[in-house]
Amino acid sequence: MTTIHDVAALAGVSASSVSNVLNGRTEKLSAKTYSRVQAAIQSLNFSPNRVARQLKTGHTPMLGLLVPSTANPMYGQLALNIEAAAQSRFGYSLLLGNTHRDKQQEARMFDDMLSFGVRAVIVVSSLADEQHLNDAAARGMAVVSYDRAARYARDTSNRPVTAAPGAAPSTNSTGSVDHVSPDNFQAGYLASAHLIFHGHRHLAFLVPDGDTVSRSAKVAGFLARAEEGRKAGLPILSTVLKAPVVGAFGDSELLDLGAAMADQLVALSPTPSGIVTVNDMLAIGLMSGLQRLGLRVPGDISIVGMDGLPIAAFVNPGLSSIAMPLGEMADAMVERAIARATQPDLPPFNALFETRLIERQSVAPPRDTSSHELRDYPGDHI
Amino acid sequence: MTTIHDVAALAGVSASSVSNVLNGRTEKLSAKTYSRVQAAIQSLNFSPNRVARQLKTGHTPMLGLLVPSTANPMYGQLALNIEAAAQSRFGYSLLLGNTHRDKQQEARMFDDMLSFGVRAVIVVSSLADEQHLNDAAARGMAVVSYDRAARYARDTSNRPVTAAPGAAPSTNSTGSVDHVSPDNFQAGYLASAHLIFHGHRHLAFLVPDGDTVSRSAKVAGFLARAEEGRKAGLPILSTVLKAPVVGAFGDSELLDLGAAMADQLVALSPTPSGIVTVNDMLAIGLMSGLQRLGLRVPGDISIVGMDGLPIAAFVNPGLSSIAMPLGEMADAMVERAIARATQPDLPPFNALFETRLIERQSVAPPRDTSSHELRDYPGDHI
DNA sequence: ATGAAAGCGCTAACAG
DNA sequence: CTGTTAGCGCTTTCAT
């Protein structure tokens, strides 16, 4: 391995000068020394050892990312976007961990990253308990948490209450964990509104068992729109269906879980005509299960998913979904994580991103309803 | 940050003893010293700085992984499996890079990883040129390349010729890059055989433009089976369709690419009745495109994909696919990468893994063929 | 403008 | 068995 000293020797200068060149401190070097060193670096194809540098400076251009599973395309995409932002905008590399939504794993991975000198990590945690995040933050890690910045407070039109940047969700009382999230309440609200708009009066929200900040927010939004409908005199039935989860969490399990839920769904009497699922993979699984049972989507049952995955456009029928601005959120998270790693005293950050409905072919008026609600509704304009 | 010296002070011993405890050198310590140090470590919640350790030892428990894009579920899953194997079997963490099949990126990421002290990396490279891999290997990196261990040599029954462990593909002349791959020739062969078995006589292989070792192998297998059919007197037509690729490579592009190819496909006259695609995402895109054109799968056109993605079971109709043993391959790659990092003089390694057909609903006899080939065929038994 | 020297936290001889 | 010492490759005062 070639070191800074080899370069120094070749250029006939001291190691310090090489270091200065490496760090672009042009003002401390004469032009000729500078170029001589440059030449030496080139000819030796030298690239400084980041480990040594890190030991000295305490910094390393590495960003941690903890996701439940990259096998879920949602997180695969998130990883892609985050890596791209980290790399292109800050020159950071990505240290990835799959947590399987396991608290132990998550904690262990935090430790690992800490021991590698990683100072900034982005976490997609499903755990209701945020303590381990706070622990990590307390240990000097800049952590930004994805999908947990729920806000239940709404104004009278169900718009999110504009919170001061410092307004943290209730789970984050101690401090320095930042939050970036799609507006999950809005997502649930939009999905529900879409179904109601198309005439559905018997709605169900499908979600794997296990509490999560984002899931609760989605459910709350879903329920809120149904309640609004009722207040407007519509005979709306809204129920929440929890799918029993056994074993590990993963991409394939979500699909399987959705498929399995088809049976439970049709066993319901009366069967809901409009379903919203907590994510697209679950919706795709459900749709497949329903079809296997001889039901038609959207003929017999309408479905709207959430995530806005590309694949949702390619299943048959195309799945209507609530899309999240993945790229923007990834940018925000990366920026924030790195910013806080440098300036730990930044004020708490809480960003909620707008979601939007993508209409495709999985929603149609219900079979047994002749009168649709065609008037305008608030959900249109959120 | 608490260091080894804090622990030493608290335990009333020297730093070396702490180091010895940390590294489990029980034979060098008295039991009482050992436990005293242990206690100190516990009470300080001390965990050694890996960076410092690495600077000293030159090793770091970090595995590099370079994939085209984790947005493609195939690679998201691969990343998951690799991370799991690395973590659970060796305690290694995963440094992930998305290359977008860009040679510059790939080379830059190798440099990055090298500078982080990573000594073992797994690469999914699409590039026909393997030079940058060899370069990295020459610079002291243990690199195992995925999906490039093509072997065209076959015996008379089209079984892969069992090669000595040292038999490297032609592109790997200089040395120390190891190869792990599904048997792509077999994959192509099986897909082709499946279609022929169901009576298809006009076959097409759909692949994005751009040469790749794995793609070539798949095509070769596809063509080989068609040729066999011809030799057996069947009037088989087999063509290869290259989809023009513009812009970056990614998950969504594959789906879109497949959908776009539907038009080109039906423009062909006569239109092939049986299609095999180089991967599942392309197949799913194609199926969707075909359906949008009013064609039915498998009624009008049969499709078989490759990869065996879970999602393939959930599209409508279910996509028949050639599955690859992802978990086994991930294990083999991780094991090999880490082994070679420790013992650079290991003999070259080349592993080809069996693929298998998963039958679902996307293949049926062609519309205009009344006589099916129902006799047995070699592909059944590969 | 340049170099000498100290040290980041750890490990690995080598003495004691 | 235990402690002392000398770095790993780099950055960073502080002299010169």
Tell me whether residues B60 and A51 touch, CB distance under 8 A.
yes
Which bases along strand D come within 7 Å of a protein CB atom? 1-5, 7-13
Residues 6+ apart with CB under 8 A from B351: B149, B179, B180, B181, B329, B332, B336
Burial class (CB in 10 A: 0-12, 13-18, 19+), B9: middle
- Per-residue tokens: B275: 């299609």
| Nearest by CB: A94 against B95, B250, B315 | B95
Q: Note the pLDDT of residue B154.
A: 53
Helix (H) or strand (E) holding A303: strand A302-307
Collapsing DSSP to helix, strand or coil, A237 comes out as strand
Tell me whether residues B79 and A76 touch, CB distance under 8 A.
yes
Residues 6+ apart with CB under 8 A from A89: A331, A334, A335
Which bases along strand C come within 7 Å of a protein CB atom? 1-5, 7-13
Average model confidence (pLDDT) across chain B: 88
Please give the nucleotide, over all strands, whose C1' is closest to the CA of residue A30: C1
- C-alpha A137/C-alpha B57 separation (Å) is 29
* CB of B342 within 7 Å of some strand D atom: no
Closest CA to A276 of A343, A355, A196, A171: A196
Is B77 touching A (CB cutoff 8 A)? yes
pLDDT in tens, B200-241: 999 999 999 888 889 999 999 999 999 999 999 999 999 999
Nearest 5°: phi and psi at A243?
Answer: -85, 125
pTM of the model: 0.91
Q: Note the pLDDT of residue A86.
A: 97
Helix, strand, coil percentages in chain B from 3-state DSSP, rounded to 5: 45, 15, 40
Does the CA dihedral B356-B362-B365-B368 come out positive or negative?
A: negative
pLDDT in tens, B125-178: 777 778 888 888 888 899 999 998 766 545 545 555 444 333 344 343 345 899
- Per-residue tokens: B297: 């799968």
- Helices A280-292 and A73-90 sit at what angle, rounded to 10 degrees? 160
Q: Note the pLDDT of residue B374.
A: 43
Closest CA to B93 of A1, A91, A114, A48: A114
Q: Note the pLDDT of residue A283.
A: 98
pLDDT in tens, B240-277: 999 887 765 566 689 999 999 999 999 998 899 999 99
Q: Note the pLDDT of residue A168.
A: 40
Task: Give, for all 382 residues of chain A, the pLDDT tens digit.
Answer: 899 999 999 999 999 999 999 999 999 899 999 999 999 999 999 999 999 999 999 999 999 999 999 999 999 999 999 999 999 999 999 999 999 888 889 999 999 999 999 999 999 977 777 888 888 888 889 999 999 876 654 554 555 544 434 334 444 334 589 999 999 999 999 999 999 999 999 999 999 988 888 999 999 999 999 999 999 999 999 999 998 877 665 666 899 999 999 999 999 988 999 999 999 999 999 999 999 999 999 999 999 999 999 999 999 999 999 999 999 999 999 999 999 998 888 899 999 999 999 999 999 999 865 444 444 444 433 3
Closest CA to B264 of B335, B204, B199: B204
Residue B28 DSSP code: G
In a mutational test of the A interface, the residue from B116, B295, B319 whose CB has the highest number of chain A CBs within 10 Å is B116
Amino acid identity of B332? A
